[in-house]
Chains A and B, each alone.
Chain A
Amino acid sequence: MTAPILQVDDLRVTFDVPVRGGWPWTPARKLQAVGGISFDLQPGEVLGVVGESGSGKSTLARAIIGTVPSTGGILFEGQDLSALGADARRSRRRDIQMIFQDPLAALNPRMTVGDIIAEPLTTHFPKTPRAEVRQRVQALMERVGLLPNLVNRYPHEFSGGQCQRIGIARALILNPKLLICDEPVSALDVSVQAQVVNLLRELRRDLGIAMIFIAHDLSVVRHISDRVMVMYLGRLMETAPARAIVERPRHPYTQFLISSVPIPDPALEKARPRPVLEGDLPSPLSPPSGCVFRTRCPKAKPRCAAEPPPPYEVGPGQRATCHYWDEPTPMVQAAE
């Protein structure tokens, strides 16, 4: 195995939440959005990240890209990004690019598409001749499936799917080694989703870019990822190869997520047993003690409140953060 392109070690992101109505000097409450996540990413690998809203997926992405302050190690090609100075880090950002959730909001409405796509290039290589910039932008537009003669158009003249392609082109212009996709398709129509996902797959095959693919839709993630990471309340619940996570989920939360992917057959859908999940996501301001999932877990025991579970090795390349991963999860059939 080659050296990992990205090593994340015990990454934590804590936000200050000011106390409402307090004095300016009242200490803020701490909200831990990401609480101790570690993983490695191999060159060319696609890592899917799933979890419900508020599970810290996007914050994880923003911590890696450096727009949110974090503690813990983020080693990119063996180099600790957090130890770099502002300038060095800025130039390192060339190699990590990001695609955003809302395709239109990610494009400056006052800039032409050509300028938007060229921005990373003109930022890091300001001396590039204009003709060359233009030529690269147009080549890239063609590559992501946009007509290159639309360079002078503005973002509001494009559809959501086209805007996402513009976002992808912008992310690719510097030939990055790692692409972070933050729910790139969740704002798009299903048919357009497929096009964009297929485009990303193609790009990955042709360019060999490593990707972190974030989504709350497990079926999309399964389609594109080599490995899937399941997050809940800022913690890692389970990591496994994409096949294993669908076929042999070990963590009760993963099992719940799998069972909530609808089957397009009403009879099968009704007959399928699923674990019961009660209540809502607890507030990240006061997470449960021990295992954060225990408040909603159907097989929670006193031990779960006392000690946080370590990642158990439950299969080849598969780790689940649950004390009782080898016990069966109580399932119920959907009510008639």
Chain B
Amino acid sequence: MAFHDPTADALQAPARPDKGRSLWTDARRRFFRNKAATVSLIALVLIALFAFFGQFLSPFDGETVDFTLIGVNATQGVPSFETGHYFGTDQEGRDLYARTVQGTRLSLLIGLVGSLVAVVVGTLYGATSGYVGGRTDNAMMRIVDVLMSIPFMFVLILLLVMFGRSLLMLFIGIGLISWLSMARIARGQTLSIKNKEFVEAAVATGVRPLTIILRHIVPNLLGVVIVYATLLIPEMIIYESFISFLGLGVQEPNTSLGALISRGASQLGNGVPWQLGFPLFFFVVMLFAFFFVGDGLRDAIDPKDR
């Protein structure tokens, strides 16, 4: 139904309450009118399916080493459907398809966890800080400033070196830093929302502060937060890849796109371009798709567009 005529409803005055068109419904319609964003969203869904279910399509796992292939990678480990190594094999004779599935999954997870922490912690922290205001706001935001001024890449590397290179540490490290700028954005939005009259109406009615934050502030922040979170995912993926590229990220036998790209790049001179090409393809497509979806969401949710 493209056009909804309220006067027609009024004339009939049906007994059943009719459905409202929420701002979310509007945004969804605008989003799907954006071709690039829609295609990117489909690409993301496909990549996610690939990352979480791709291993079932291959007879090989990412850990079994085929000793017969070591050293003759450039001639024997070529990508082919006959051998079942769709993406070829890596230097150790492991199936690159399975490795890529594994790496994509990890990179996706890192991005999702990072931005999930940002959404939950950052939004609540920023909204609370902005809503309470005054000294509390000042103190809370100075804490964020201090944390932000620490070169986090350095801290992350220290963390990984001190506590060992585990996946958990990587998640903790990325989670620790990802919420900071989100908190600032959420606070800034909250400051403008809390002076709206509907918040005052809620205060005047006697709604409790926590309920006001959750019911009136956060839902109105959510548009900006979602857009920022989608743009944060690729950022987190890039950070993780960078760390893995340095050799500090995930540990073998686990892998991530960054680690695969790093290894592929080092083998570039040996006639095995697929070792770089396949991980790089998924990396680039994933990042592009996230950026386009983020852009599309921003256009869809931005109320100034209306």
Q: Say yes or no for A151: interface residue by CB 8 A criterion.
A: yes
Report yes or no: B205 in contact with A153, Cβ–Cβ below 8 A. Answer: no
Closest to B220 in A: A110
Q: Say yes or no for B82: interface residue by CB 8 A criterion.
A: no
Those of A276-292 within 8 Å (CB) of chain B = none
Contacts of B203 in A (CB 8 A): 67
Contacts of B201 in A (CB 8 A): 98, 100, 106, 167, 170
Contacts of B9 in A (CB 8 A): 147, 149
**Contact of A149 with B14 at beta-carbon distance under 8 Å, contacts A109-B220, A154-B20, A157-B6 already known:** yes
Those of A68-104 within 8 Å (CB) of chain B = 89-91, 93-94, 96-98, 100-102
Contacts of B17 in A (CB 8 A): 114, 148-152
A100 to B211, CA, bound (A): 21
Report yes or no: B206 in contact with A123, Cβ–Cβ below 8 A. Answer: yes
Report yes or no: A119 in contact with B202, Cβ–Cβ below 8 A. Answer: yes
Chain B 1-25 near chain A by CB (<8 Å), digits 1 or 0: 0000010011001111111111100
Q: Say yes or no for A219: interface residue by CB 8 A criterion.
A: no
Report yes or no: A120 in contact with B198, Cβ–Cβ below 8 A. Answer: no
Could you tell me the distance in whole angstroms from the C-beta of A245 to the nearest C-beta in chain B? Answer: 28
Report yes or no: A110 in contact with B22, Cβ–Cβ below 8 A. Answer: yes
Chain B 148-165 near chain A by CB (<8 Å), digits 1 or 0: 000000000000000000
Report yes or no: B206 in contact with A153, Cβ–Cβ below 8 A. Answer: no
Could you tell me the distance in whole angstroms from the C-beta of A72 to the nearest C-beta in chain B? Answer: 19
Contact of B18 among A62, A65, A93, A150 (CB under 8 A): A150
Chain A 106-138 near chain B by CB (<8 Å), digits 1 or 0: 111111111000011001100000000000000
Report yes or no: B23 in contact with A102, Cβ–Cβ below 8 A. Answer: no
Those of B199-234 within 8 Å (CB) of chain A = 200-208, 211, 215-216, 219-220, 222
Report yes or no: A97 in contact with B204, Cβ–Cβ below 8 A. Answer: yes
Report yes or no: A123 in contact with B207, Cβ–Cβ below 8 A. Answer: yes
Closest to B25 in A: A154
Contacts of B14 in A (CB 8 A): 149
A154 to B198, CA, bound (A): 14
Q: Say yes or no for B305: interface residue by CB 8 A criterion.
A: no
Contacts of B22 in A (CB 8 A): 110, 112, 154
Q: Say yes or no for A263: interface residue by CB 8 A criterion.
A: no
Q: Say yes or no for A156: interface residue by CB 8 A criterion.
A: yes
Q: Say yes or no for B196: interface residue by CB 8 A criterion.
A: yes
Report yes or no: A107 in contact with B198, Cβ–Cβ below 8 A. Answer: yes
Could you tell me the distance in whole angstroms from the C-beta of A3 to the nearest C-beta in chain B? Answer: 24
Contacts of B23 in A (CB 8 A): 109-110, 154, 156
Q: Say yes or no for A105: interface residue by CB 8 A criterion.
A: yes
